Structure formats: structure tokens, C-alpha cells
Chains A and B, each alone.
Chain A
Amino acid sequence: MLELKYVTKVYNSGSIQFKALKGISLKVDRGEFVAVMGPSGSGKSTLMNILGCLDVPTSGEYFFEGIEVSNFTDNQLAEIRNKKIGFIFQKFNLLPQMNTYENVELPLLYRRMDTAERNQRVRKALEQVGLIDWKEHKPTELSGGQQQRVAIARALAGDPHLILADEPTGNLDSKTGTEVLKIMKDLNKNGRTIVLITHDLNVAKSAKRIISIKDGLIVEERRN
């Protein structure tokens, strides 16, 4: 489903070059639950940006469902993000001025979906995370765990092929963190491909495969 071939990413800030990824090759199959682990500065966020089509590699190839996307335009990447990828961020990244319902609805609006189908999908996603009764609340009126569940609902509403989670439990206490991880495991059981990025081994253990990276290179790969 996803395949990286010798992907590098170099950041230029002025005259200084920084190699965040030094040649990563990686394959993720449909239905997998993969954790990418590494300390801060290891390049895992850069990897997540490239996997999530938020950024393009400096060199190398990235096949998303068999299509090479590293030369795609901004708009083509936006379309992939919109239709095929669901994001779950450490900081939830909900829009504060919108209520739960509107936040979940937003990616579908950018897809220009008609009202009836939108409504049905948003409800289904909110029921899945158990927040249908909170649909009128603004993010600031919700707990951290609830906010992350709204974010998961937003990722699910678009019915994506891939769910990318960047430290989804990083801002949660351990109890709600476990809850969120359980939801993700359930999603994987239902057949969704999940890539989880974390620095926490306990979190990574939820995944079936753990890839460790350090200084922009894969150093270890093992299966649970």
C-alpha cells in the first residue's frame, strides 16, 4: 500500500544543510498496524510528513497505493490527504471556533460532498467514537480525551485508506491514552491501515510491527 524507496529529506536553512532523512526504504501493506519509533530529532516527524503527503521527499520515490506521488502538485497532494488519509495529531488540531460536528464535517466539505451524505457520515463517525451527544460542543468545552476522539472521528469521516497518528497519546493522561489506543486497535481490526508515530515504547507496543529510526535511518525492525 505504501512504499518508500531511498527517500531522503534535506532542509536548507540559509547556508546550513540539515539531512533529516538519509535514505529510508519502507513498505507498509494494507491492513497493517505499524509504529514508527524514535527519539526526538530522529527524523520521525519528517517521515510522517512525507508519508502523510504533507511534504515531498528531496530524493527517492514514494508510492502511495502504487502511484508515485513525490512529484505531485500541491493540489494533487491535497486531494490525496483529503480522500485517502486520516490524520490524528498530538495536539488534536481541532478548529477552536467550530463545534464538534463542524470539525468532523470539514474534510467532507472540502470534498464537496452533498449535505445528506455528509450528515450521515459525520453522525456515523461520531457514534463510532461515542461523542454523538457532544456534537454541539466547542473543543474548549471538551476534555483532552474527548478532543482526541473528535479528531479521530474527523479522520474516520472521510473513510480513509490510511490513518496516520502522530503521538496521539502525547497530550493525554495514561488512562485516556489507553482508551485512544484501544480505538485505534479496533479500527485496525476492522481492516484499516494505521501508521503510528511515537517515542514511547509502551505506545508502540500496540502496533503489530515496530520500526525504530535514529538520525534519519532505520535501525531496527521487529514484529510483536
Chain B
Amino acid sequence: MSFAKAVKMAYKEIVGNKMRTFLTMLGIIIGVSAVIIMVSIVQGTTSRITERLESMGTNLLSVRIMGRGADSFLEYDEVLSLSDKYGILGVAPVASGNATVKYGTNTMDITVEGVDENYQSVRNHTVQSGRFIAPLDVKYRHKVILLGSEVVKELFTIQNPIGETVKLNGSNYTVIGVLEEKGSSIGGSNDEKVLIPISTAQRFLKTEGIRSLFIQAESAEMVDVAYAELEKFLLNRFKNDEDAFRIFNQSEMLSTVNEVTNNMALMLGGIAAISLIVGGIGIMNIMLVSVTERTREIGIRKAIGAKRKDILIQFLIESATISGFGGIIGVIIGLAGNKMLNMFAGINTKSTVSVLVIAFSFSLIVGVFFGIYPANKASKLKPVDALRFE
């Protein structure tokens, strides 16, 4: 019998028993959609975290000089010379502290970061309006300021902040730009901060030298090279004292995050896959009932010449068709569920084609696997006994 004919026959058999087929399929439908939704949620979360991390700048290393005292900082020029090192694309020193910003009667406590012109490209900050800090601002310690989007919202109601004067702990600063909104990340809100020239900040915060800097590697492959160069320089600089500084590797963090979320996806997907297996047992159960019910049919088929293989294939195709249909419906419901979660619960979901394919093929495999035993039982029936069955 041709495969197409056999599938058609199986389809007829299944359609002839709608309610039972649907209930049997339900296990597979729930299993497949659960796998898809679970994995999509984790993948959605992963991509959101990755996006956040990357919005802080790509291929980023950050250095913090630890300890106190006269020797526990780097000079500004020293830091800038780092950008000549192999593998390093840009260096952005930062001096940060807290302050109160005031405009008119509105005040807000914010983080102040003293930066230079390199900060924009290294940290991947874009200016929503106005301009960024220029080399001349750093050179002449201009009292200019860039505001984060949250700060603008808090201090200014309707007017354009650019050109206005705000007070930072009492002294006047001219607003030259507004930063693009970035959302918060592990390091805190990126929008509740202000940027001023680093030279101005050093004086304002009464700090000496540079204790914090960001370094951008030339490419993802060069991150490790840049890391090594940086470490060599710093060890040399701090007389081989490893505790004098700390380097954070963003890509390392990313890969840690990815590892954790991948494990989570596997775990949740695995739990959901258990329900698929339970669905498979449901199929096996109903197929066994069906074999008993159709003993006479099997006898007739055998009497007129069906071989063991024909009966085996017939029942396998039936169980595979049930699970295959269930799988397709499960994929559709899974995708719809993802959409609904996205729309109504605001949960970020991301389903890749591979997850859909894997979930669907797993359902097919489950159908075939759990169909083997009943199909084999059917194919082994003796025609004489089967024909006698009432």
C-alpha cells in the first residue's frame, strides 16, 4: 500500500472518532505548546538581557582602581596612552560621584559622571538633542552638562532644556545636550545621571586622577588580547599588586548570562517535555484500546492479504498522525500563547524556528515511539483468532 493511501486511511480512521482523537491529541498539544512557550520566555529574557548589556557598549572592559592613597589612581594622560595598545579601540576615563541637580524649584539626586569625548563611542551613548562633551570642554574645564532622559523629565516640564542653566550642588552649569533613553541595567539607571567634562568633575568631586575607566576592544575576538594588554600595563603600574585594580569583562558576563539562561531553557523545556511524554503514553493507551476494538478489522485485513508489515505501518501511521496533528496545533497554540503573553502580560518572548522544529519533531517521535507497542501487538494477531473476535 502506498504511503499516501495509508495516511489517507489513517486520517479517515481518526476523523471517524473525533472526540477520542481530540482528547488523545490534547496531551501532545499541551506538551508542544508548553515547550515552545517555556523556551520562548527564556529566550526572550536572554535576548533582553543581552540587549541591555550591549547597549552599555560592545566589547567592553571596565577597570576600577581599588584602594586609597596617593598611589591608587592613574593620571589622565596615562589613561589616554592606553588607546595605543594592541587590540584597544578606545578608552573612556570616568570620575563619578553623587550630587543634587536643581532647576528652578525642582531638585533631583543623581549620579554625576565626569567624562571626555571618548565616552560617547565607548559606552555607546547617543545624544537625543544638543551635542556631546567636546575636547575643548575638558581642556578648559567648561561648566557644561548633559542630562539623562529621566533627569529632563523630572526637572523640565515643557521647555527645551538646551541652553538653560541648572545648578549642580549650587554651582551653575549650562545644558548642552540630552542623552538618549537607555533604560536601567545591572549598574543602575542609565537615565538618572548627568555627564560633565572630566576635568570639571575632578575639581567638583574633589578627586585626583582617574579611578575608573572603560575600554573598548577593537572587536569581539580582540577582547581577550585587550584584556591581557591592560592587565600587563596595570600590573606593571601597580608593582604586580593584583589587588590594586579590578577588570570586568563584559563579554565574559554575557557568556555567563547566556550559559545560565541556556540551562534554564533546557530545564524548563525539559519539564514541559515530560508532559509530551505523558501525552505519548496517552496515545499508547488509546491505540491499545483501538487495537482491541478493531481486532476483527485486523482479522479481515489479514485474511485478504495484509502482511504483518502492512498492519504495523497502518497503526504506526495512525499514532504518528495523531501526534503530528497534535504537534501542529501545539505549535500554533504555542505561538499564539507567546503573542498573548507579550501583549497582555508584557513578557518578552522570542521563539526561534529551531525550537518550533524541535518541539514538533519530538512530538512526532513520541507518537511513533509510543505507537510501536500497540502496532506490533496488532500486527502479531493471528487472522483466525482475529476473525473469530466479536
Contacts and interface: CB of A to CB of B under 8 A. Distances in A.
Contact of B307 (A75, A95, A98): A75
B1 interface: yes
A67 interface: no
B199 to A, nearest CB: 88
B141 interface: no
Contacts of B2: 109, 112
Interface stretch (A33-41, A58-66, A80-88): A80-88
A87 B383 contact: no
Given A79-B305, A81-B304, A110 B384 contact: no
A93 interface: yes
Contacts of B193: none
Contacts of B143: none
A106 B301 contact: yes
A80 B46 CA distance: 63
B277 interface: no
A87 B304 contact: yes
B307 A93 contact: no
A205 interface: no
A87 B308 contact: no
A75 B309 CA distance: 9
B304 A54 contact: no
Contacts of A81: 302-305
A107 B305 CA distance: 6
B16 A97 contact: yes
Interface centre among B301, B305, B308, B309 (most CB of A within 10 A): B305
Contact of A110 (B1, B16, B297, B382): B1
A180 B176 CA distance: 105
Interface residues of B, number: 24
A154 B304 contact: yes
B300 A78 contact: no
A87 to B, nearest CB: 6
A49 B382 CA distance: 11
Contact of A49 (B1, B297, B384): B384
B384 A54 contact: yes
A54 B300 contact: no
Given A54-B383, A54-B387, A78 B13 contact: no
B310 A110 contact: yes
Nearest to A115: B2
Interface string A141-164: 000000000000010001000000
B5 interface: yes
A55 B307 CA distance: 14
Interface string B180-194: 000000000000000
A5 interface: no
B311 to A, nearest CB: 10
Nearest to B5: A109
Contacts of B153: none
A112 B1 contact: yes
Interface in B376-390: 382-384, 387
A110 B387 contact: no
A109 B1 contact: yes
Given A97-B13, A109-B1, A110-B310, A55 B304 contact: no
B48 interface: no
A93 B13 contact: no
A97 B193 CA distance: 75
A54 B303 CA distance: 7
A111 interface: yes
A49 B299 CA distance: 12
A218 B302 CA distance: 29
B131 interface: no
Contacts of B232: none
A115 B347 CA distance: 54
Contacts of B296: 93
A49 B303 CA distance: 10
B12 interface: yes
Contact of A79 (B299, B307, B382): B307
Contact of A78 (B1, B5, B297, B307): B307
Nearest to A155: B304
Contacts of A111: 305
B306 interface: yes
A73 to B, nearest CB: 10
A68 interface: no
A76 to B, nearest CB: 9
Interface of B: 1-2, 5, 12-13, 16, 296-297, 299-310, 382-384, 387
Given A49-B384, A89-B387, A110-B305, 16 more contacts: A54-B384, A55-B383, A74-B307, A78-B306, A78-B307, A81-B302, A81-B305, A82-B304, A93-B296, A95-B297, A95-B300, A107-B305, A109-B1, A112-B1, A154-B304, A158-B305
Q: Closest 8 interchain pairs by CB?
A: A82-B305, A107-B304, A110-B305, A109-B1, A78-B307, A93-B300, A55-B384, A54-B383
Interface of A: 49, 52, 54-55, 74-75, 78-79, 81-83, 87, 89, 93-95, 97-98, 106-107, 109-112, 154, 158
10 contacts: A54-B387, A55-B382, A55-B384, A81-B302, A87-B303, A89-B387, A106-B301, A106-B304, A107-B305, A158-B305
